[in-house]
Amino acid sequence: MIDPQQLQETKQALGKRLRDLRKARGLRQKDVAEQVLSTRSTVANVEAGRQVVDRIFWQQCDALLQAGGQLTSGYDAYRRLEQQHHAERDEAARRARWGAAADTTPARDDRGSGLVALRQLLSSKGRPDPDPSLATVSLLEQAAGGVGQGLTLAAPRGQYFPGAAIDVEVYPAVDDGRILATIPRADAGRQWQRSLQRRLVAGRVSSPTGDGLFALDSRQASRRLVDIGDDARLLIPRVYRLDAITAAVLWAVANLDQALLLDDAPLEASRAAAARYSHLTRSAVSGDIAQDLDTVSRMWLGSAFCADHISRHSAELTEVPTYWTREQHGEEASTWLLFGHKLRYLEETAGRLANSAQHATRMFCVPPAAVSTSAEPERILLLLAVALMESFGINVAVTDEPEYSVLPGLVLTQRRAIVASWIRADGVWHVDVTDQRSTLAEYRDAVGHVRAHSVIDADTACRRLQAFADYLDLDWAWLRTRCAELGEHGLAGIAEPRSRLLSLDGVDRACRFVASLP
């Protein structure tokens, strides 16, 4: 286990190394700050071990002090130690919160964001299939032991997600054109809606072509129960079949919801602490500001700060900008669909551009490796996030060239770039506003190349999304059908969030948009 004191000592040693090198060059803290576009107080805090800031700062100090890379390598070593500490802390917190249930959440896959355990919910293609996969059969066999069978499904951890558990109560159901599950009176009296754990109430339908599972969020189920004789009847909308798209949303909601609820008070404290940076044009904040938070809560904090930073400075723009975003996997992209502030940010962006004759463009870098290491449900989340952008009149372009992964999140015009990174950033966020010519030229070259070589280049949103579905190896026709069903009903019936910071409005809008395409 990494001791917090060890982290602090490493940070102080790194700051001392900077101070010694600075003094050896005869420079003041103010001199260094001016050369690396920082402030004297930041340099002082770094040297005292109170702050670490971002990697760019250390690279610039290396060059300025001719340190031969020792400051940057020291910073990298500190970050590796910090990441290990966070992983150990999150694992300990997860086990403390969930006890034995934590063991149902498997280790992440090679990349860290697969949906291995939720394959128990899926057929081999994620669609209603006459030949369910062994994973689905396994779930159904578990449910065959008797009515009211209690199962715990793992919504596995990812690169950011801590892992969560979903309790499922499975009951026999019939399909007479409707899905009707029979709930014994003893079970119908349970207060499902009071469960602290996310819970589904599922109906199992057996047919000659294969078994299917249809589920409701426990709160929704409790409101819909109807007593008939000795048993209660539960009508489950057919749209809530457990398949790739509903499993994807459940995976994301379960992980985000649990983490944000558990961190509600410390997250609010961290948000208040972050407010003091809002007046700065440039800031890069280390994980210290969110040291008591889960990785998901740090994501939320960084995302919210970056959205506010862009909104503050977008009012100064006189041209229609190009947006560059860093999401490559469904886990990252799910934040667009589910974080409430992300949807508000898109609405504000669309409002500012409403009177323009031009469409804004948002660019993604999604290399083939990101596609091949993502399970089908995660790829669906990525496609729905792109559909959400298109629903606001933002044209999306995608490059498959991995070298563009290093670009920061940014908003680019001919004269200015608003930088805002929180995904794969060195700290919680890194923001800036720059008009430096060489930097703008680099960004313009990248944007121009991607615009000319987008792997989903087409003249309509429908064709762009269909091309993206092909690139992600998704069944576009099936997706449109399922999006039409889910968009009409909404996903609250199966994945109702508990946290005030989450909303299903974004994913519902994306589904409706896909369904509306000609």
Structure tokens at 337: 């669909």
Where would I find the beta strands (DSSP E) of 105-195?
149-155, 164-175, 179-184
Burial (0-12, 13-18, 19+ Cβ within 10 Å), 159: middle
Are the beta carbons of 22 and 71 closer than 8 angstroms? no
Amino acid of residue 4 = P
For residue 62, report the phi and psi dihedrals to the nearest 5 degrees.
-55, -45
How many whole angstroms separate alpha carbon 41 and alpha carbon 223?
A: 57
pLDDT average, residue stretch 475-503: 96
Residue 468: half-sphere exposure toward Cβ, Cα within 13 Å: 30
Amino acid of residue 337 = L
pLDDT in tens, 354-412: 777 788 999 999 999 999 988 888 999 999 999 999 999 999 999 999 999 989 999 99
pLDDT top residue among 513 and 285: 513
Q: Kindly report the average pLDDT of the chain as a whole number.
A: 84
Q: How far is CA 431 from CA 98, 263, 309, 389, 422, in A?
A: 36, 24, 7, 22, 9
For residue 395, report the phi and psi dihedrals to the nearest 5 degrees.
-75, 130
Helices (H), 374-454: 376-391, 437-452
How many whole angstroms separate alpha carbon 184 and alpha carbon 370?
A: 46
Point out which residues pair with 235 in neighbouring strands. 180
Are the beta carbons of 472 and 383 closer than 8 angstroms? yes
SS3 202: strand
Measuring CA to CA, which residue among 510, 506, 492 is closest to residue 239? 492
- SS3 string, 224-260, reads HCEEECCEEEEEECHHHECCHHHHHHHHHHHHHHHHH
| Confidence band of 143 (pLDDT split at 50, 70, 90) | very low
Measuring CA to CA, which residue among 389, 371, 393, 392 is closest to residue 380? 371
Q: Which residues contact 478 (CB under 8 A, 6 or more apart)?
A: 127
Structure tokens at 17: 């190394």
pLDDT in tens, 150-207: 677 778 888 889 888 888 888 889 998 889 988 887 666 565 555 567 889 999 888 7
Structure tokens at 173: 């159901």
pLDDT top residue among 102 and 237: 237
How many whole angstroms separate alpha carbon 237 and alpha carbon 258?
A: 26
pLDDT in tens, 301-334: 999 999 999 999 998 788 899 999 999 999 999 9
pLDDT in tens, 75-86: 888 888 877 876
Measuring CA to CA, which residue among 278, 361, 349, 275 is closest to residue 317? 349
pTM to 2 decimal places: 0.78
| Confidence band of 448 (pLDDT split at 50, 70, 90) | very high
Q: Which residues contact 509 (CB under 8 A, 6 or more apart)?
A: 343, 388, 391
How many whole angstroms separate alpha carbon 350 and alpha carbon 306?
A: 17
SS3 180: strand
pLDDT in tens, 228-253: 667 788 999 999 998 889 989 999 99
Measuring CA to CA, which residue among 159, 194, 187, 154 is closest to residue 172? 187
Angle 295-314/330-338 helices, nearest 10 degrees?
60
H/E stretch holding 283: strand 283-285
